[in-house]
Structure 1
């Protein structure tokens, strides 16, 4: 180990930066008293960690080693000393060829240590120089007081000096440190043993508590499963009630709309009757005026008749025979004229009566015809409504015969990732329910899930509750199936072509992969004959269905015949839409018939 140089700045009398370079051999520093020779020794010991201000002859505080100024120099705020060692022989346990140890202190601040200009702790410096025999109290640095202490030291003290000089002191220090650590470890072991003893005493009660906890967890899981099942049933029941209420609300809205339309019709009829009443009032006023004029004329005529009768009576009493004959002839003539007039009026009234009776009979026949037509429409409307109620009831319970599917759909609120069934998510276009139902086949009851984990959870639910089986289709692994370009070209030009089944349904965008997976490579034709011809052209490699639900499978096998009406959710929905349209048409026809009957009733009353 070789000290190459010392760099001092602001340390005691070294106000300016001073570098002392040491070469090989013996280096001596000479000078008069008070020039600062001892300050170099103090600087070396200070860098190596000396903490005693008395040993450094600096005063009461460590900051007193900073140059405090003179008559011609101002004080400085920092003291720094660096020792640079040659480490080519790797005396220090570091890979650097040169080791620089630095200590810096500022006024009113703690000292800072650096090794190769990297901040470190005093312990790091002590550990670095421990194995080298270099230290603030080692024999590598001998001061004037050390020589006298050597001469006056007792044998035990000299032994420690010899051990230090021989390099044994560091091992004794390590031994002392190790023994202290062993004592601390033994104390920790004793504490651990006490803790173990205490834990062993608690082990028995804790095992019982653990068994109770495990039992509690098992019962809690069973209770959770039971509660989930109960909640699923309650949710299903509540959902059915909500659906029933929604249907009632919808029926009430339809009834409200129907009543509103009827009210509007009746209001229009009332307005027409008001106008007719006003016209009749005007006519009544005219007739009353005519009646009053006729009464007045009748009174005048009766007065005139009374005068004539009186005149004739006087003539008959006092007149001659000729006068009486003439008066009698006049009376006969008047009687004949009155008789003929009343006879003509009677014949005219008879003709009017016969005509009115004929008109009344015609109106009654027409009214009876419209009533029969209305009754037929009402009966047909009731049949349609009963069928619609049946269809709606079947739609509300579309999976009644699919126990597993029914159980999952009722518990979907408590299960994660359940989107619905293929039949519930794919909506066929008008009139395509049978074709899409045939195209899906058994997949119509497939339950669509977000991912495989959701499907596994639902299967575990079915197993735990013994609720049957179901088929699940996770969207995360669902890959569409499409026909080839040549197959698309051939199918498009085939006779009776309707289109690909995936184009005949509507769904949300997120379910398009499911739609294309189940229906992407299935073609629809109008009739079975055209389906056979199309399958032949496609070499029986594509499944083909018809509007009526007949199927030509890949390979050429066929499935067809009559199927139970409303056998699946898709056909039920299709039939429900058709029934709604027919019900609307029947209601419109019934309203039209009722509108035609009302004028006939008024005409009948008039006749």
Structure 2
């Protein structure tokens, strides 16, 4: 594994896109003062995860973005890409070439980290180079003054430098992470024990509450079963009442139809009886008129008979007109017969009138009864 290429744009003094190609592993970068040697080393450390603006020789991290010059405007973004040869797969990736990119935006201050043009976290980049000898603090990048600082470093600091160079920093970091996890686990265990003790205190009340809840559920279930049973019985009873009411309604409707028919028939009979009574009344009136005429005729005949009797007596007494007297006697006898016949007819008419009157009264009473039954049935039907 070695660094094949550095691509920079907007980083410190490299305002334009600059590509530095390394065909073979390199030992160092040399050049006159101010040519950008330190900026190249800073760009490598910056991509590898350097977060200290002071280490990047600035006051704040935005100072790594090209700030402009007399003839160039400043830019709003700094971007550096390191391209590594990974044919021996030292880096934990299957690709033979790995690109690691870091960007920083001036306006928002946001940073982006990419591996093979895919957004990742800073931690992913640090983990990628862990135990490879590369890193922002590794001895693979030695800037001006690092040798002097190494010579003047304290023993503990010097030990850290050797551990980094020997590749044991990865294990120390993992050890620290493991110890930290162990401490967190121990703290969680202690907290779990405290919670367990507290829960044990609550077990008995919770058991009682659980038993009460179980009893409640059983009783509620039983109550629901009883309510369902009662509801089913009520529904069946209601259905039975509905069927009974339907049957009663059908009977009432049938009776109502029958009553209506009977009423119509009786009303028809009543109308016919009234018509017949009217006819009989007219006949009676006619007969009474005729009877009065006959009475008048009879009265006249009686008077005539009396007169004839007087004349007959006179004739008999005088012995004259005997034949004429016999004729008058015959006329009187005929008048009596006709009178008796008319009297008989009058009696028959009176009898017939009484009969029709009785029939009319019976029909009217029957209509009243049927009307009352019809009204009662209608009231039951409405209720």
Give 3-state SS (helix, strand or coil) of 2:286's partner: helix
- Residue 293 of structure 2 aligns with which residue? 296
Match of 2:239 among 239, 242, 251: 242
Corresponding residue for residue 337 of structure 1: 334
Partner of 1:67: 66
Change over 3 Å in CA distance of 1:251–1:301 after alignment to 2: same
Partner secondary structure for residue 52 of structure 1: coil
* Structure 1 position 41, deviation (Å): 0.8
Contact 2:91 2:132 in 1 (8 A): yes
In the TM superposition, residue 9 of structure 1 has moved relative to its aligned partner by: 1.2
Give the deviation of 1:319 after TM superposition.
Answer: 8.2
Residue matched to 1:262? 259
Secondary structure in structure 2 of the residue aligned to 1:140: coil
Q: State how far apart, in whole Å, the 2-side matches of 1:348 and 1:170 are.
A: 152
Alpha-carbon spacing, 1:146–1:310, altered in 2? closer, same or farther (3 Å): same
State how far apart, in whole Å, the 2-side matches of 1:235 and 1:26 are. 94
Is the contact made by 1:316 and 1:324 (CA closer than 8 Å) also made in structure 2? no
Conservation of the 8 A alpha-carbon contact between 1:77 and 1:106? yes
Q: Identify if the C-alpha distance between structure 1 residues 124 and 38 changes in structure 2 by more than 3 Å, giving closer, same or farther.
A: same
Q: Please tell me whether residue 86 in structure 1 is matched to residue 85 in structure 2.
A: yes
Cα displacement string for residues 128-172 of structure 1 (whole angstroms, at most 9, x for unaligned residues):
111112111111111113122122223333222222222233322
* 1:572-583 correspondence to structure 2 within 5 Å: none
Question: Is residue 315–residue 323 contact of structure 1 (8 Å, CA) maintained in 2?
Answer: no
Post-superposition offset of 1:100: 1.2
In structure 2, relative to structure 1, the CA distance for the partners of 1:171 and 1:55 (3 Å cut) is same
The match for 1:310 is: 307
2:114 maps to 1:114: yes
Aligned-partner Cα distance in 2 for 1:343–1:66:
158
Distance in 1, matches of 2:102 and 2:18, equals: 15
Q: 1:250 to 1:174 in 2, by over 3 A?
A: same
Q: For the structure 1 residues 70 and 292, does the alpha-carbon distance in structure 2 shift closer, same or farther, using more than 3 Å as the test?
A: same
For the residues of structure 2 that align with 1:321 and 1:98, how far apart are their CA atoms?
A: 188
Distance 2:271 2:279 in 1: 12
In 1, distance between residues paired with 2:154 and 2:280? 158
Aligned to 2:361: none
CA contact (8 A) 2:301 2:335 kept: no
In the alignment, structure 2 segments of 5+ residues that lack a partner are: 353-383
2:229 matched residue in structure 1 = 232
Q: CA 1:232–1:334 in structure 2 vs 1: closer, same or farther (change >3 Å)?
A: same
Query: Does structure 2 conserve the Cα–Cα contact (< 8 Å) formed by 1:47 and 1:83?
Result: yes
Counterpart residue number, 1:252: 249
1:138 aligns with 2:135: no
Higher mean displacement: 37-46 or 23-32:
23-32
Query: Using the alignment, how far apart are the partners of 2:123 and 2:25 within structure 1?
Result: 31
Give the superposition deviation at 1:101: 0.8
Aligned counterparts, 1:458-607, within 5 A: none
Q: Map Cα deviations across residues 457-489 of structure 1 (whole Å, 9 max, x no partner).
A: xxxxxxxxxxxxxxxxxxxxxxxxxxxxxxxxx
Shift of 1:125: 0.6
RMSD: 3.5
Instruction: State the match for 2:186 in structure 1.
Output: 186
Distance 2:215 2:248 in 1: 53
Following superposition, the deviation at residue 299 of structure 1 comes to 1.4
TM-aligned CA deviation for residue 2 of structure 1: 0.7
Partners of 2:113 and 2:122 within 8 A in 1: yes
Cα offset for 1:77? 2.4
Secondary structure of the equivalent of 1:126? helix
CA, structure 1 residues 48+234, in 2 after alignment: closer, same or farther (shift >3 Å)?
closer
Q: 1:156 and 1:335, CA in 2 relative to 1: closer, same or farther beyond 3 A?
A: closer
Separation of aligned partners in 1, 2:345 and 2:184: 144
Counterpart CA distance in 2 for 1:158 and 1:132 is 19
Give the 3-state SS of the residue equivalent to 1:4 in structure 2.
Answer: strand
DSSP-derived class of the 1:149 partner: helix
In 2, distance between residues paired with 1:176 and 1:234? 71
Task: Give the direction of change, closer, same or farther, for the CA distance of 1:238–1:23 in structure 2 (3 Å limit).
Answer: closer
- The equivalent residue for 2:170 is 170
Closer, same or farther: CA 90–344 of 1 in aligned 2, 3 Å: closer
**1:196-239, Cα deviation, whole Å (9 max, x unpaired):** 222223333333444444455455545555x16xx425633551
Which protein has the larger Cα radius of gyration, Structure 1 or Structure 2?
2
Q: Distance in 1 between matches of 2:222 and 2:54?
A: 79
Deviation at 1:98? 1.4
| Alignment check: 8 A CA contact 2:102 2:112 kept | yes
What TM-score, normalized by structure 1, do the two folds share?
Answer: 0.51
* Deviation, structure 1 residue 177: 2.1
How many matched pairs? 350
Tell me the distance in 2 between the aligned counterparts of 1:232 and 1:25. Answer: 91
39-48 or 171-180: which moved more?
Answer: 171-180
Q: Structure 1 pair 33/297, CA: closer, same or farther in 2 (3 Å)?
A: same
Q: CA deviation at 1:83?
A: 0.6
Structure 2 distance, partners of 1:186, 1:329, is 168
- RCO higher in structure (CA 8 A, sep ≥6): 2
Q: 1:307 to 1:244 in 2, by over 3 A?
A: same
TM-score (norm 2): 0.78
Partners of 2:224 and 2:280 in 1: CA distance: 85
